[in-house]
Every structure is written in C-alpha cells, then in structure tokens.
C-alpha cells in the first residue's frame, strides 16, 4: 500500500470524513476472496459443526475464515479496531472509538451446513454509527458485492484477482414497480411480525433467501424490500447495509431512522429493521407502528 494510503487510513479513526470508502472496500474485497479459499475447503469436507453458548451453529469455516480476515486486517488496516463474530462469542465485545470494522466470517452458517450456497463473507466499516464501506462475498455462488461511495458487483472465484472497478457491474436500487413489490424474507427465520408487515404492502412476489444476499438483491434492483424483526447482530448486517446504501437504498429501524451501529450498551444487537430499495415506497407508519 502506498504511503499516501497509509497516511489516510491511519488518520481515519480520528476523522471519519477523510476515509476513502472505495479504497477500503477494495481491501475488504481482496481479503474476503482470500478467506473464501479456506471457507470452500471446509464446504467440500467435514465442517465439524457444533453449537456456541447461545445455541447458534459454528463450524471450522467460521473460525478459519475469521483468523485469515483478522490477520489481513491487522496488516493492511492496523489503525482500525475490529469486532468479529467468533471473537465476540469468546467474550470480546468491545471496540474503541467511533470508527471500527465488523466481521462476520460466514454469515448464514445454517445455509453453509445445508450446502445450499446461500452463505456469505461479510466485512463492513463503521464510521460515526453508519456503515460507510462493505463487502459481501458468496463464494459458493462466485459473486461479490462491493459498496463504498459507489456499489459494484461481479462474478469471481475464491482466491482470484479482483478486476478493476471499471470492469465490474455498477449496481443501483430500482424504482418501486407499479405492479407491486418483490419482498425478501429470511430462509431460516420467520415470525408473525414479519408476516403482518408484509401483509400491509402491495407485494407481488415473495422470495426466500439466506444470509446477506437479501441486502444485495435489493441493492442490485432484483427486489424491493427486506424486513427483519427477529434478532440480528451488527456484524450480520453492516456489510450488506453498506452495499445497499452505496446503491441508493436505506435500512430503517423501528423509529424510521437509518440503522445505527456501535451499540455497545446493547452488546451490538440490532433491533427490528426494514431494508428498502426505492425510498419513495416507504410508508411512514409501516415500521414505526410495529
């Protein structure tokens, strides 16, 4: 990395306005592509699945990928504190300052264990409570989504060299279709509140999907709304949220405010949220009244 880039990144935690969002997203993408090699080696072998203290699943892929990601982040972005899912599961749930990185080494471990391909590697940058850069990589599908000041996507295999931004597909949310919205729901998590929320919208089509792929589908204009009222953690959503915001969308909390990050007092848990593509489709009471 250049001296100029090192200087920029080193100063970022004390002045978020100077962060080069696209440059950091590129670094995240390169790291995710490397970590995916380890993830896919486990995907095609014995994953040694087990349960964490909170009863959620974990396997070798989560731990191998997180080790690689943390090592590379320490080398390339040493000034940024990092909060990663598996480290947090072992008691590390603190980050200093308003600028930090969130890592989910395998988002959608259930999908990974079910071998349906709908799992992702997520890395996101938070500055002053907002996700400013993020990468979502689905190695089994060979697709990556990158969000900084702009949002792009491309097909790419684990370990491959990331093509220049000009050779990738620019993505953007779509206007809400007049014939009705396409809604996305979690493949592994459903609840009555989600059903009630969707019932009040002009839904034409509904699809199920795993992991952060739902954020990416809205970001690239393949869907319009993704509600989630069950519990999620900040590392689950930061990268996909960054991609969606870079593509022109928004993620709103129950009070209709953009979803915030760095909620240490809540152990970095998210409350209910709704991800939207076209902001004109948002109904003022739709999230706040639930």
75-97 pLDDT, tens digit per residue, is 999 999 999 987 777 667 678 68
- pTM, two decimals, is 0.89
Position 164 scores a pLDDT of: 93
Are the C-beta atoms of residues 126 and 262 closer than 8 Å to each other? yes
Residue of 103, 29, 62 lying closest to 268 (CA atoms): 103
Are the C-beta atoms of residues 227 and 246 closer than 8 Å to each other? no
Position 13 scores a pLDDT of: 44
Question: What is the phi-psi region of residue 159: left when phi exceeds 0, alpha when psi lies from -120 to 50, beta otherwise?
Answer: left
Distance in angstroms (rounded) separating the CA atoms of residues 50 and 251? 32
Indicate the pLDDT class of residue 191, thresholds 50, 70 and 90. Answer: confident
201-222 mean pLDDT: 93
Indicate the pLDDT class of residue 18, thresholds 50, 70 and 90. Answer: confident
pLDDT score of 20 more than 50: yes
Residue of 142, 108, 124 lying closest to 40 (CA atoms): 142
How do beta strands 203-209 and 181-186 pair? parallel
Position 178 scores a pLDDT of: 94
pLDDT score of 7 more than 50: no
Are the C-beta atoms of residues 156 and 198 closer than 8 Å to each other? no
């Amino acid at each position: 990395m250049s001296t100029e880039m090192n200087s920029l990144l080193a100063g970022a935690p004390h002045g978020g306005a100077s962060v080069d969002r696209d440059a950091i997203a590129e670094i995240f993408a390169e790291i995710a592509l490397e970590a995916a090699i380890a993830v896919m080696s486990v995907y095609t072998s014995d994953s040694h699945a087990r349960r964490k203290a909170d009863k959620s699943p974990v396997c070798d892929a989560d731990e191998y990928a997180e080790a690689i990601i943390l090592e590379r982040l320490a080398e390339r972005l040493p000034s940024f504190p990092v909060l990663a899912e598996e480290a947090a599961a072992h008691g590390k749930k603190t980050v200093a300052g308003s600028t930090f990185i969130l890592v989910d080494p395998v988002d959608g471990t259930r999908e990974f264990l079910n071998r349906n391909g709908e799992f992702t590697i997520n890395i996101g940058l938070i500055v002053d409570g907002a996700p400013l850069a993020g990468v979502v990589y689905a190695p089994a599908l060979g697709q990556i989504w990158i969000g900084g000041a702009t949002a792009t996507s491309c097909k790419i295999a684990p370990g491959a060299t990331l093509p220049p931004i000009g050779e990738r597909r620019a993505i953007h949310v779509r206007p809400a279709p007049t014939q009705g919205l396409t809604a996305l729901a979690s493949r592994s998590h459903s609840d009555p509140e989600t059903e009630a929320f969707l019932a009040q919208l002009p839904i034409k089509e509904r699809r199920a999907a795993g992991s952060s792929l739902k954020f990416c589908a809205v970001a690239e204009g393949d869907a319009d709304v993704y509600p989630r009222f069950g519990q999620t953690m900040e590392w689950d959503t930061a990268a996909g949220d960054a991609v969606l915001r870079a593509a022109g969308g928004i993620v709103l909390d129950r009070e209709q405010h953009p979803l915030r990050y760095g909620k240490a007092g809540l152990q970095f848990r998210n409350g209910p949220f709704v991800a939207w593509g076209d902001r004109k489709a948002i109904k003022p009471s739709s999230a706040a009244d639930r």
